[in-house]
Amino acid sequence: MRCLPGWRPGINAPQDAAGLPDGDYYFQVTDPSGKTLLSTDPVRNRQFHVSGGVITGLSGAGSHNLGNDSDHPPARTIQLCDFLDTPNPGGVYKAWVTPIGDFVGDPTKVDSPCGYGCFHGFIPAASKTDNFKVKGGSALPCLIVNKVINGTWIGGWQYTITDPIGTVIQGPLFTSLTKDCTVFNLVPGTYILVENLVVGGVTYHPTANFVDGKFLSNPDDTIILKIGSRDKGSHEVIFYNTN
């Protein structure tokens, strides 16, 4: 799978040249023709909000990371991962955005076949697109975060990550029920993961923590993860709780 550090409308243009009216949008990644869908998560997880002509945040249920566009605050960038390798021999991808009101199909599904002139639920006349290439692929490490409560694997449980320079990675971030990465492009350094232990007035208690299959002594709501300078793979963190 491929990954980009971040993306915004109008990659080769000023931030306010994207031409997106305020509102909520879905995005997808395809090959240049649009025939092959490369995005791998449900459409509703690929939803973002535009305000004042710039992306200001996520408005869906997904875990695509947000970055800060320092040249155009308060604009944000969106990580497009996960998406598959393009079949295009030139290594070209196409990013699409469309208003959620113009999407055709079921946003709870990954793909929505919609007939001639429509691509996976995205109508070209209602969408904006931009072709791009990925340099170096997903060379930086990525992270899988899982949670188990009373022996049951739990998805959608919120947690936070602080990066090596002390910045909280923008989210929201949620645990997954799969062994797929949900946090990407981890630069070398120390990361602090903190799980939420109080939900709906119920307090949960840490019983075990695992990092890459290794049991950590003294279970806590906090896990320290260290990424090395030569690290290129994925890491798995599991929080075990009881109530």
Distance between CA atoms of 159 and 182, rounded to whole angstroms?
12
Residue 16 pLDDT > 60: no
- Phi first, then psi, for residue 15 (nearest 5°) are -55, -40
Interval 11-40 mean pLDDT: 78
Tens digit of pLDDT for each residue in 222-233? 999 998 877 777
b/e code 102-140 from CB counts within 10 Å (16+ = b): ebbeebeebbbeeeeebbbbbbeeebbbbebebeeebeb
| 226 C-beta neighbours (distance < 10 Å), count | 12
CA separation, residue 78 to residues 72, 75, 129, 206 (Å): 14, 10, 15, 32
Domains with residue ranges and CATH for the chain: 15-133 (no CATH), 142-242 (2.60.40)
Find out whether the peptide bond into 32 is cis, omega within 30 degrees of 0.
no
pLDDT of residue 174: 87
Under 8 Å between Cβ of 222 and 194: yes
In one-letter notation, the amino acid at residue 43 is: V
Distance between CA atoms of 80 and 63, rounded to whole angstroms?
10
In one-letter notation, the amino acid at residue 179 is: K
pLDDT of residue 190: 92
| 178 C-beta neighbours (distance < 10 Å), count | 10
Compute and round to an integer the Cα radius of gyration of the chain: 19
Could you say which DSSP state residue 218 is in? S
Under 8 Å between Cβ of 87 and 19: no
Where residue 193 falls among pLDDT bands split at 50, 70, 90?
Answer: very high
pLDDT of residue 74: 62
Predicted TM-score (pTM) of the model is 0.56
Query: Over pLDDT 70: what percentage of the chain?
Result: 82
pLDDT of residue 12: 39
More confident residue, 106 or 65: 106
Residue 68 pLDDT > 70: no
Tens digit of pLDDT for each residue in 32-44? 999 999 998 899 9
Under 8 Å between Cβ of 57 and 27: no
Residue 9 pLDDT > 70: no
Strands 66-68 and 54-58, bridge-based pairing: unpaired
